[in-house]
Structures are given as C-alpha cells and as structure tokens.
A and B are shown apart, each in its own frame.
Chain A
C-alpha cells in the first residue's frame, strides 16, 4: 500500500486475554476503503448471525479511515462498529476528535475486540504495542474523569482515549462511546457493547507517521479545501459554523419544519414559536463561550467549550450542544430553557449517552405522561409535562443513573414501551431506534435514509434529504424517479465517511474526499471506483442485516414522520411523504429485491470481495 494505511489491525480477545496483530490485506483496503467499510467486512467474518450483541461472541471495532493522521483537512473521524443491541442488526457510529488519527499513528488501522473480560479492563496501545490493563479504579467514573485518570496513570498528557461512562457500564441501550472528552460515537448502543465486555477504555499513544502517496497532491487538495471554505458558495455557512457550531441553525430549523416538534406531533411555528426558537439557538449560548474546539486537522472548528457558572444548573466548563441535541431536548420536548439543554447535554456527555435517543426518549415519555399512560407515581413525582425544564433534567439524570423510571427509559423508548406494556402508539422509531432531528415531511428523502440505511435512523448517511432541505420548492415531494440521484447522494457520503473525513468537508468542495483519497492512497478514485465502493460498502453492511434475518418490512417509518395523516396547520400542512416510491426507486438502483431485500447475485459478483455474501444468500 502506497499510503493512508498502517497495514495492521489489532484483534483483542478479552475472554482469553489474547492480543493478535493481523495484516490489513491491500485488496480489502482498496475495496472497502476504511472506517465502517472495512469494519463491516471484518465483523461479517468475525461474527456469526444470531449472537447476543451484548454477549462475549459479539465483536466491537474501532476503525480508522485512510485520511486519518495524514494531514488531510477534516480527516479526524473514525467509526465504531458492532451489532446493535437496539436494532439487532448492523451498527456504525462515527466520531471526530483526535482518537482516530492517534490510533493510526500508533500503527493500527483498526482494533477489534471480542470476548468479555472477567473484571473491568482497559486496552493500552502505544506505537505498535498493546496490552490489557486493569481498570478497577476507573469503573464508575464519568467520561472526562476517566480520560483524566488515564492521563495521570500513563503520564501521557496527550493521550487519546475512547471511553464509556457509567451508562455504558450499566449497558444502557442508549450508551455511546466518548473520545476527547465530548466527541461521541453516539448511536445504536455501542457504549453498551463496550460495557458488556467490561472494557472501560481504549487508550492510545501514537507517534508514528502515516505514509502519503503523493504529498504534493494532498497539499493541493488541502489548498482547494481552504479556498472553498473561504470563497465558495458555503463560505457564510462555514463562518457561521466556525463561530456558533451546528446549533446556529436551530431556530430556523425549528420554525421552518425541519426540526421535529413535540415528539413529532407539533408544529414549530405554532407550538414552539419564534421567541422560544431563538432562545435555544447556539447564537444565544455564545455568551458562555470560553474557547473554540476543533477536531484533528480541521480548519473549520465547529465545537466550543462553554463555561456556565450561573443559574439553576451551573456546570463550570462544559461543551456546546450540537443542533441534534438542542432539538432532541428542545423542540421535541417543547423546552425553550437553554440552560436545561446544556445541563442535559452535560449529563449525556458525562455518563456517555446518545443525546438524540435520550432526548427523543424523554419526549416519548412526556407524551405518555401527558396522555395518562405514565403516572406521576411511576415517574417518582416528576411532573413530566411539555416544556417542564426541571422535569426534563430530572428524568435525564434518572436515565443516566438508571434510577426510578430511568431504569427502564435507559433502554430507549421502544424497549421501554415493550417493558412497560404501553406507549407503543407514540413511538417515533425505526427498528427500535429513535429518529434523528430532521423531518422527512420537510425533506422527504430523509425517510428512505432513515428506513433503509443499514444503520437505520441516521441523519449522517446521505441520500436526498440534505439536498431537498435546501430546496424550498414543492418539486421535492415528487418521488418519481429518485433512485439515481438518491444513490449519487448516498455515494458521496459513503465514500467520504469511509475515508475518515468529516461531512462538513462538503461545505468546502463536493469531491474533496475522492481527491484526497487519491492523493493519500495513490489509487485511482474516479467515479467508477466511487460507485463500486459505495455499492460494495452498502451491500456489506446490508448483508450483515440480511444474515440476521432482517427483512425490508421490519424497517417501518413512523406514521407522523411521513405525514400519515398530514399536519393540518403550519409550513408542513398537507405534506405527505411518498416513502413507498422512495424505497422502490432506491432498491431498484441498488438492485435489491423489494420483498427479501436480497441484492441480485449478479450485482454482488460484479462488485467483488463479496463471495461469502453470495454464498450465504444464494448457496
């Protein structure tokens, strides 16, 4: 391999205490690119169908992309991969920060962990070496405390670590993995998988260099990215995100119909209103900004440290809530108390909880409470009414600590409804996982992505939604003939994320990822390569679900999210999503059977690298 890869993967069996290094085959790297592409290929090999995602037979991967650690701008993202304990199927979640590049510099493209330790442990990796260490003293610590304790123990002040908080230890199905204090591989319950293995942290110190095939070409791509950010059509957005982060759009989204409101049953402009929307916008939080935060190799820097020393919830130094968080604990709960949103965000970061699923679960529980399905006795006296900021904080704390009703809510809304035996009619989930914070009634294409990306209910998986959200015209509701464009917009994201760079690189230039990939790896990353890689990676992840016995009919879009029935008032009045056409067109483009979900044998054989999938599906 000319560049971009360390060429080695670490395999850790915690049951046996065994650590093994294996070569990353050049062919695998070329075919599956990196992050969840390589992750899906390896996990398909490592895991048998039907295993308990929280059992020792399950595997968990931390996988870098070829652009991590190379100096490619935006190249700070890695992926966590596992079988989701929520959906029972494929799960990938990615995070920024510095962990991914550090792992690569330590000499590994990926770490895969199987088995389960008989006591709390952490994995320490330093420049090509790895060891399993005792973590008894770390167990029970919050995510930031854990990193600080690891830094103290190892004496490495620039140590990078992916850790779980108490939520992961207690196997909350909304538990995430946190690196660099506040960057979260959030969705699908990966934190619970890590907790099930008694693995508190993966700590990394790397000082090596990642080879780059054509450094001059990479410099040129970086120059192009910088120029695009400064002078391109998204220059204003870049500047705004750099100053205020993703929450800059919160108020506009809340009123336009882009944000779900009141557990997907409300209308932003009527039920929430302009004054409330502006209160939870990150522009309103700017008075708390202490300093900016940027992930590795990022020239945009959408994060920020805040310092909150006043009001009902003084937090000291905390991190700025992202848009998804502000919507989940804000518009979804009709909550315009920004301090409470910062508090909930803080709790989630500390305990290691996915803010999207947690906020959405609070919204679901609120609707149950308002309709008499959950009583005040069951909440332990918490008056879980719409917009009650104190109650939202209290119930979030209960979820984090798994106390009272929080014990069952920590399983997420779908599992909680099942356990409580009520509230299923208010669930806004696909295959058990809560929808993210962009409304398909506003941009219909989101529905296809939420339903049929192999990691369902994700806002970061491409498709038509992002494009349509910026199109105010009515044409976006015509879902005839969407397949080719849906595939194209999915492919851009698939290749970009497998490369290990951030979605916000799209603000600089649409084809930045393949340009950088070509410079770093020396491969020809033309449109044919991108189309093949997209289909191969998508099929690999999809095959994992098919092997688990999952069928397209198992992935159902919640009725509210597709306008069934349509809203009667507000900007989305009358809007219906033709989710059947969107599905049909995408399945045709992917050559997937609509009933069984099976990709055609011919398409799999043409892609290559999927012989075992062909064997599993067709014998």
Chain B
C-alpha cells in the first residue's frame, strides 16, 4: 500500500522535500512508517517520540494502523518561540 507523508519544520529540511510517497506492507503502523523513514532521513525527530503524527486529520499514536491512501502529517514539536 502507499501512503503520503508530509514533512514539516526541520524534518522537511533534513529530508530536502515537504512530501514523500511511501510504500508499506498492508496493515503497517505509524511506528513502522517512522522506522522506515529513519533509514533514509537522519533525524532524531523520527525516533525520539517528539513528533506529533496525524493521519487524515486525526491524532495518531505509534500503534495506529495505516491504510492505503492515508495522508500522514509529521509535525515536529520544537518548543519555544
């Protein structure tokens, strides 16, 4: 299945793009998506639990199951400002 991942703040900078399409196994979870991304994007924001994840406009947790066509927003929360 394919999901669209939208990247913000320093995740976008590290990836060099604001949007990715990612192929995952059917029934993959948010945690598996983050693990997959961390192999190509060198950012602790994918692994240190500091990033808000939204799937189709709803909050998601690592255990949230993804489905084909989902739009996943990865929103690093930095603090400050």
Given the known interface contacts A233-B48, A252-B52, A472-B61, the answer about A466 and B75 at a Cβ–Cβ threshold of 8 Å is no
Closest Cβ of chain A to B13, distance in Å, is: 6
Are A503's CB and B80's CB within 8 A? yes
Are B77's CB and A469's CB within 8 A? yes
Partner of B10, one of A240, A322, A472, A474: A240
* In the complex, B33 has a CB within 8 A of chain A: no
Are B77's CB and A247's CB within 8 A? no
Q: Tell me the complex Cα distance, A233–B46, Å.
A: 12
1/0 contact string of B40-60 vs chain A (CB within 8 Å): 000111001111111001110
Q: Closest chain A residue to B60 by CB distance?
A: A472
Within 8 A of B (CB), among A543-590: 570-571, 573
Main secondary structure of the interface of A (DSSP, over half): helix
Q: Tell me the complex Cα distance, A604–B11, Å.
A: 47
Closest Cβ of chain B to A609, distance in Å, is: 31
Are A240's CB and B81's CB within 8 A? no
Given the known interface contacts A252-B9, A571-B54, A571-B58, the answer about A322 and B81 at a Cβ–Cβ threshold of 8 Å is yes
Are B76's CB and A249's CB within 8 A? yes
Partner of B77, one of A322, A459, A470: A470
Q: Tell me the complex Cα distance, A336–B6, Å.
A: 19
Contacts of A504 in B (CB 8 A): 80
Q: Closest chain B residue to A572 by CB distance?
A: B59
Q: Closest chain A residue to B58 by CB distance?
A: A571
Q: Tell me the complex Cα distance, A97–B44, Å.
A: 31
Are A471's CB and B9's CB within 8 A? no
Q: Tell me the complex Cα distance, A570–B8, Å.
A: 18
Q: Tell me the complex Cα distance, A301–B77, Å.
A: 20
Are A256's CB and B54's CB within 8 A? yes
Q: Tell me the complex Cα distance, A281–B81, Å.
A: 13
1/0 contact string of A267-281 vs chain B (CB within 8 Å): 001100010001001
Contacts of B16 in A (CB 8 A): none
* In the complex, A283 has a CB within 8 A of chain B: yes
Q: Closest chain A residue to B30 by CB distance?
A: A472
Are A472's CB and B8's CB within 8 A? no
Q: Closest chain A residue to B10 by CB distance?
A: A240
Q: Tell me the complex Cα distance, A474–B49, Å.
A: 13
Q: Closest chain A residue to B42 by CB distance?
A: A236
Are B10's CB and A251's CB within 8 A? no
Q: Closest chain B residue to A274 by CB distance?
A: B6
| Centre residue among A241, A247, A253 by max chain B CB count within 10 A | A253
Are A248's CB and B9's CB within 8 A? yes
Contacts of A324 in B (CB 8 A): 81
Are B80's CB and A246's CB within 8 A? yes
Q: Tell me the complex Cα distance, A281–B9, Å.
A: 9
Are A270's CB and B57's CB within 8 A? yes
Are A473's CB and B10's CB within 8 A? no
1/0 contact string of A228-264 vs chain B (CB within 8 Å): 0000010011011101001111011101111000000
1/0 contact string of A498-510 vs chain B (CB within 8 Å): 0000011000000
Q: Tell me the complex Cα distance, A269–B60, Å.
A: 14
Are A252's CB and B43's CB within 8 A? no
* In the complex, A122 has a CB within 8 A of chain B: no
Contacts of A90 in B (CB 8 A): none
Are A252's CB and B79's CB within 8 A? no
Closest Cβ of chain A to B14, distance in Å, is: 7
Q: Tell me the complex Cα distance, A237–B10, Å.
A: 7
* In the complex, A323 has a CB within 8 A of chain B: yes
* In the complex, B18 has a CB within 8 A of chain A: yes
Are B75's CB and A236's CB within 8 A? no
Q: Tell me the complex Cα distance, A191–B12, Å.
A: 39
Are B57's CB and A269's CB within 8 A? yes
Closest Cβ of chain B to A195, distance in Å, is: 28
Contacts of A474 in B (CB 8 A): 61
Given the known interface contacts A240-B9, A471-B49, the answer about A256 and B75 at a Cβ–Cβ threshold of 8 Å is yes
3 closest A-B pairs by CB? A323-B81, A246-B81, A252-B75
| 21 A-B pairs with C-beta separation under 8 A | A233-B48, A236-B14, A237-B10, A240-B10, A243-B13, A248-B9, A249-B77, A249-B81, A252-B77, A253-B75, A256-B54, A323-B80, A470-B49, A470-B50, A472-B51, A570-B57, A570-B58, A571-B52, A571-B54, A571-B59, A573-B58
Interface residues of B (CB under 8 A from A): 6, 8-10, 12-14, 18, 43-45, 48-54, 57-59, 61, 73, 75-81
